[in-house]
Structure 1
Amino acid sequence: MKQIITGNKMDSINSYLSFTQKCKRLLFVAGLFMVAGTIQAQENDAELDKLFTWVTANSPGCVCAVSQNGKLVANKAYGVADLERSIPLTTHSVLDAGSVVKQFVAAAVLLLVEEGRLSLTEDIHKYIPELPDYGEKITLDHLLTHTSGIRDWTGLRPLAEGDPDALTLTLRQRGLNFKPGEEWAYSNSGYVLLKEIVARSSGKSFSEFTRKRLFEPLKMMATSYVQDLTGVIKNRALAYKKENDGWKLDMEIGNDRGGGGALFSTASDLVLWNEALAKNSLGAFVTEKLQQPAKLNNGRKLGYGRGLMIDTFRRGGNLVWHSGGAAGYSTLLARLPQYNLSLALMCNADNGARSALAARMFDLYLPSSNTGTATQSNQQPEAVTVDANDKAGLYFNGKTGQPLRLLVNNKALSLAGVGPLLALSADRFKSRGSSLSFLSGANFEMQFRDNSQFEIITSEGEKIPFTRAKGFAPTATELAAFAGKFESNDLGSVMEIVPEKESLQMRFFRNPAKSIKLTAVDKDTFMLAMMTVRFQRNKEGVVTGFLYSNPIVRNIEFTRIN
C-alpha cells in the first residue's frame, strides 16, 4: 500500500534534510579545525624538540611544560636524570626548583594575612623576637618585596666560621645593608624568616602548611616542600655540572643549601600553579598581592611583587616570572597573562641558557599574528659598533662600595657576571635581559659621563653612579700595616691578614689551610673576584679593622683584636 506524503510532511522532511546537511558541514568544518590544530600541535612539538638538540642521550637535560588557554599543550623531557644508572628524565621527574619557591612562601604568608593571623605592616620582631634590634621597623611586606635591607645569607657563608644554617646566620646579623624601604636588594634571608614565621603562626611546619593549603587544593600532587634533602625523594633527578670532558654531581643538600629544605616539583605541576594565578584560584587578595609591584619609601615602583618578578614583555604586556638555581638545578617559571600562555623549564644542569630557551619556547606558542612584532616602546634598539677598550676596568659605587667590572672582548663591552652589553652609542649601553643582584628589573642602561665614571639607569628610572678605581700598588711597608687578626661577631669568625710580596692572604684563624688571596685595587681596598675588603683607620692612620662586602652583602665589620 502506497503511503501518501502530504505537503506538511514533505516540509518537515526537507527541513530535516537541510538540518542534517548543515550539521554535516559544521562537523566537516570542525574536523578541519581539529586537523589544523593537530597539525599545528605536531609542528610545535617538532620545533620544541629542535630547541633541545643540544641534549644527548648521555647528558643531563631539561623537562618543560607549556600551558595555553588553561590547557597543557606541551609536556616533554630531554636527557638523563641519573647518569650512573642511565635513568632518563621523564615528565614525572621532580627537580629542586630553587628560588621559584619564593612565590609559594609569599602565597602562604598572604593566606595567613587574609585570615588575620599575620599583618603585612607589623614589625617582624613580633613574630621572631630573637631577631636583633636594628633600630628600624622591618615589616612582613619589606621581607616579601626584598626591601628589608637584611643581608643575604648566601653572601655571608664564604667567611662564616663552622657550618651554620641560613636561619642561624641571619639571626646573627647586627647590621643591615640599608634602611628598610629605601632600596631593593634580593635577599634569600628575608624568605628564610618568612618560612619560619609561617611555621610559628600556623602551628604547622612549612612543608605541612603548603601541602594542605596550596599543593593538595591545586592538585599539584607531585610537588612538595622537602625539609630533609638527604632523604629519599621519589623520582628525584640528580643535578650535574660539566667539568673538563665529563659530568660531576652538583647538588647542595646540607647547610650550603640553607639547611631548611627545598621545593621539589615537576614542570607540569608548576604550570598548574600558573593557571591557579590566572584563574584567581587562591582568591583575589592573594593573587593580587603576589603580582602587585612593590614601592620604595619614595614612591618609586619596582619590578618585583611578592615572590614574583613583574617585567614588560618584549612584545607588550606583562611578563610575570621567577627563576631558581640550586647548584646544578636551574628552573624558570613564567607567564604572559595577555596571551593566556605560561611555561615551566626545569633543568638538571645549568647551561646558562634558560632565559633564551624560555623566550624561544614562548615564540613557538604565541599567536602567529604577533610573531616578530613588538610595541614601539619595547622594540630592541639598533646596536652600533663602538670601540670600548678605554672603558674596561673596575668601578665602585661610592655609597655602597658595590663593585662592577667591565670587560672588553673584540672591542665589545661586557659586564662581569652579566654578559655582553648592547652598544647604543659610544657612551651608552643597554643590558640584553640579564639582571644585576641589586636591581629589581632585568633591563638597565649604562650611561658614561667620561671614561672614569658612569651611571646605571634602572628600568624604574633610578640612577646609580659608579667611579673607576684609582689603583693601588702598596709597598712592603704599607702591606705590613694590614697584618693582624680581625674578628666579626656577625660571622662568628676570626681572620688573619698575612702580607705577601704584592698581595695579602686572608686566612681563617681556626683553619689556616683555608685562605683567600686579596689583590690591591684601590687605596686600602683589596679584592678577590667580587669580594671586597676595605680597611679602616683611626685618626692616627692605624688600621683598626676592615669592612667585608660582596654583591649581596654590605659592610660586615671585622675589628682588629691584636
Structure 2
Amino acid sequence: MKKSGLYTIALLLLCISATANPGSVNNPEGTGLPDSVEIKIDTLIARMGISSQTPGGVVGVIREGRIIFEKAYGQADSETKTPNTTSTLFNLGSTSKQFTAAAILLLAKQKRLSLKDDIRKYFPDFPDYGYPITIENLIHHTSGIKSSDGLCLMAGTLFSKDNREGDYNFIARQKSLNFRPGDEFLYSNSGYILLGKIVEKASGMKFSKFIEENIFRPVGMTHTYIYDRPDKTTVNSATGHVRGGDQKFERSGYQNTTLTGISNVYTCIEDLLQWDNNFYSNKLGKWDFSKEMTTPEILNNGDTCKYAFGLDISEHNGLRTISHGGGTGDFSTQYTQIPSERLTVVCLFNISTDATGLANKIIDLYVKGNPKHVAAEVTPEKANVDTALLQKYAGKYLDKSYGFIVTITADSDHLVFEAPYQGRFEIYPSSDSLFHVTFADLKLLFRRNNKGEVAGAAIIQGDQKFDLTYLGTDIYPLKAEQLSEYAGDYYSEEIDVTYPVTFKDNKLYIKLPESTAQFCRVNAESELVSECDDYFASPVSGIEFTRNTENEITGFIIINIGRVRNLVFGKVK
C-alpha cells in the first residue's frame, strides 16, 4: 500500500511540474502564502488538462493592494510553442465590459452625458419602441434590446458582424424588444456595443483612444490595449485556441473580430492589480469609484438588479463579491473581488475553460467565509394520492415563455411529463399538488382556480420557475395531411436570413444555417413537431406560425432562444 501511495504522489508531482512554466512564478517572500496553496493551485490547473504542451493561462491573487501569487501555465501560442508568462496579455472577453461602463461613468462625472439620457439622443435613427431606453438601461442589461450574439447566431454568422457598425445596423433592424425597459434583467451584448458608440459620440474621440488616455494610463495600466483593428500590433499577447475535430488544440481565427465595447481588452495580471487598486484609491477623480461602479439599478417592480456597471454583485460562501467573467470561445477569464477581505482572484486563459469555477476554488484556499449549510439531498417520500386526482392533472400545458407544450399523463401512482426535444420522465407526488422527480432537484407544483379546477403548474428547479398554463385534454397535434400547407421559405427582415420549411415523408422540417446547427449541436435539417394548432416544437425553441384574416399562413415566430425573444419570419410569396 505504501509503495502504491508513493507512486501516486510521484505521478501527481510530475504532472504539476510539467504544467507550470519554469521561471514564470511570482510568489514574493514574506507574503505568508503557504507552499501547500501553490501546490493546490497547480493541482487544480493540472486537472483542467493544461500542461506545458497545451495552451494555458495565468492565475493571480491580489491581497491588500499587492500580488501575493502569480503563475503562468501552458503555451501562449501552440504553433510557435511560446510559453505563457506572468506578463502575457489576454483578451478579457466580457470582463472588458467594466471598462466600457467606467468610461460612461467618467463622462457622466464630466457632465458630457447623463445616465438618464434616452439613447435616441445619440442614435436618432434607432427604432422608437414606445418606451424610452436610457443609458442606465444599457449599463445594467435592463433595456430589453435583443442581444447581438443571439441575433447573429440565428442569422448563421455565429456571434458578430466583426465590427460595431455592422452590429449596430443589425441591432437597429429589430422590430420589437424582449420586454419593456426596466422590467427585467436579461444579459444583452447589444447594450455594450451601443455604449461603446455613445462613448465616442459624447467624447468626440475614438473609443479605444478615450479608454486608453482617460482610464488605462491614469490608473497605471501601461501594458493594456484594445484590439480594435486587424492590423494592430499585438506584442506579448496570447493567441486564442479551440479544440479541433481531433480534440487537439489549434489556433482560432476569432482574433480577426475587432468588436469593442463588449470585448477585446487585452491585459495582464500586473495591470489588473492597478485596476483593482483603483477601487480603493481612485485615480480618475475625486469621487467614490467603488461605490459608483457597484451601484445596481432598481427595476420597475421595485426589485434590485444585481448587475452594476459591467460587474456582477453577488456572494460566495456568504461573502459579498464584485466580479465578471468572460468567454470568447478561445479565451476564458474571471475577475473576482471580495472587498471585505481585500482579496481579488484573476484567472486568464487562452482556451475555453471554467475560469469562474477555478477562481471560486482559489478563493476557498484563502478565505473560509460563511458557507451556507446545504443539507444532503433527500428524495422526498412518495405520497399516496387518489388516482382520480392524477387524472385531473392529465392534459396539455403551455409554456408561454418558450412556446413549448407539455403533455402530462397519469400512470398508476404517478404522472409522466413529456415534451418534444425536452425528454420524457416520471414525476411522483409529494403532496396533493407538489410532485418531484427522483434524479434531480426538479419539482412540479400544480395550481387550481377558485372553483378547484386545474389552472396550470410551475416547473421549479433551484431558484428558477417556469409557469405552465393548462390547456385541457382535447388538444391534439396536426395530422400529416395538414402539415403540407406550412411548407415554404420564410424570411426574417430582422436578421436577413431565409429558413426553408419542407414537407416530406409526412413530416415537417426546418433548415437552420449550418453554423447555427453546429453551435446548437443539432441537425441543420430538424423536424418541426406539431403540438397543437399552429404551435410546433423545434430543437432551438418553440415556434408559432401566424395567419392573416383569410386564415392564410403569413409567417412564424421563434419564441425564445434565451437572449432573443419573438424573432419574426415572414412567408416568402
Q: TM-score, normalised by structure 2?
A: 0.75
1:343 to 2:360 alignment: no
The 8 Å contact of residues 206 and 225 in structure 1, kept in 2 or not, is answered as: no
Per-residue CA deviations over 1:120-141 (Å, capped at 9, x if unaligned) read 1111100111211111100000
- Give the RMSD, CA atoms, in angstroms: 3.6
Q: 2:351 and 2:554 mapped to 1: Cα distance?
A: 44
Are 2:131 and 2:181, in contact at CA under 8 Å, matched by a contact in 1?
yes
Residue 53 of structure 1: CA displacement? Answer: 1.8
Structure 2, unmatched stretches of 5+, are: 1-27, 383-395, 407-420, 423-429, 448-455, 515-522
Tell me the CA shift for residue 504 of structure 1. Answer: 0.9
Overall identity of the aligned pairs, in % = 29
Uncovered stretches (5+) of structure 1, i.e. residues with no partner: 1-34, 389-393, 405-415, 418-424, 433-444
Matches within 5 A, 1:57-76: 57-76=52-71
Question: Which amino acid in structure 2 is aligned with residue 188 of structure 1?
Answer: N
Match of 2:556 among 503, 528, 546: 546
Q: Distance in 1 between matches of 2:259 and 2:52?
A: 29
What's the offset of the Cα at 1:278?
3.1
Structure 1 residue 60 displacement after superposition: 1.5
Q: What's the CA shift string for 1:429-457, capped at 9, x where partnerless?
A: 9xx9xxxxxxxxxxxx9652059843458
1:160 offset after TM fit, Å?
3.0
Q: CA deviation at 1:363?
A: 1.6
Contact 1:105 1:307 in 2 (8 A): yes
In the aligned structure 1, how far is the partner of 2:73 from the partner of 2:470? 45
Aligned pairs for 1:297-312 (under 5 A) are 297-312=300-315
| Partner SS state of residue 40, structure 2 | helix
Change over 3 Å in CA distance of 1:36–1:264 after alignment to 2: closer
User: What is the distance in 1 between the residues matched to 2:82 and 2:339?
Assistant: 36
AA in 2 matched with 1:553: V
Cα shift readout 1:384-421 (whole Å, capped 9, x = no counterpart): 24699xxxxx99741464899xxxxxxxxxxx99xxxx
| 1:384 pairs with 2:351 | no
The answer to whether 1:536 aligns with 2:546 is yes
Q: Quote the residue 2:490 is aligned against.
A: 486
Once the two structures are TM-superposed, the CA of residue 187 in structure 1 deviates from its matched residue by: 0.5
The correspondence of residues 159-558 of structure 1 with structure 2, limited to 5 A, is: 159-160=154-155, 164=161, 165-229=166-230, 231-243=232-244, 244-254=246-256, 262-282=264-284, 283-314=286-317, 316-351=318-353, 353-366=354-367, 371=368, 374=370, 378-385=372-379, 397-399=399-401, 401=403, 447-450=443-446, 453-456=457-460, 464-466=466-468, 474-501=478-505, 502-506=507-511, 516-520=525-529, 522-523=531-532, 524-548=534-558, 549-558=560-569
TM-fit CA distance, 1:47: 2.5
The answer to whether the Cα contact below 8 Å between 1:516 and 1:528 also exists between their aligned partners in 2 is no
* Aligned-pair CA distance for 1:328: 1.5
Counterpart-to-counterpart distance in 1, 2:207 and 2:258: 20
What is the SS of the residue equivalent to 2:125?
coil
* CA-to-aligned-CA distance 1:212-240 (integer Å, 9 cap, x gap): 11111111122111101454311221222
- AA matched with 2:93: G
Report if aligned partners of 1:166, 1:255 keep a CA contact under 8 Å in 2: no
- Cα deviation for residue 458 of structure 1 reads 8.3
Q: Aligned ranges for residues 21-100 of structure 1 at < 5 Å?
A: 37=30, 40-54=33-47, 55-100=50-95
Question: Distance between the aligned counterparts of 1:527 and 1:156, measured in 2?
Answer: 20
Q: CA deviation at 1:273?
A: 1.6
Counterparts of 1:104 and 1:427, CA distance in 2: 46
- Any conservation in 1 of the 2:492–2:568 contact (CA below 8 Å)? yes
> Aligned residues, how many?
477
Q: Quick one: which amino acid aligns to residue 69 of structure 1? A: E
Equivalent pair of 2:60/2:347 in contact (CA under 8 Å): yes
Shift of the 401–136 alpha-carbon distance from structure 1 to 2, 3 Å rule, reads farther
Structure exhibiting the larger radius of gyration computed from Cα positions: 1
Q: C-alpha deviations, 1:274-326, integer Å up to 9, x for none?
A: 22113344453543222012211111112211211011221x23111111110
1:539 Cα deviation from its structure 2 partner = 4.9
Instruction: Quote the Cα distance in structure 1 between the aligned partners of 2:202 and 2:279.
Output: 24
Task: Say which SS state the counterpart of residue 483 (structure 2) adopts.
Answer: helix
Question: Which one-letter code corresponds to 2:186 in the other structure?
Answer: A
- Tell me, yes or no, if structure 1 residue 108 matches structure 2 residue 121: no
Partner of 1:436: none
Shift of 1:487: 2.5
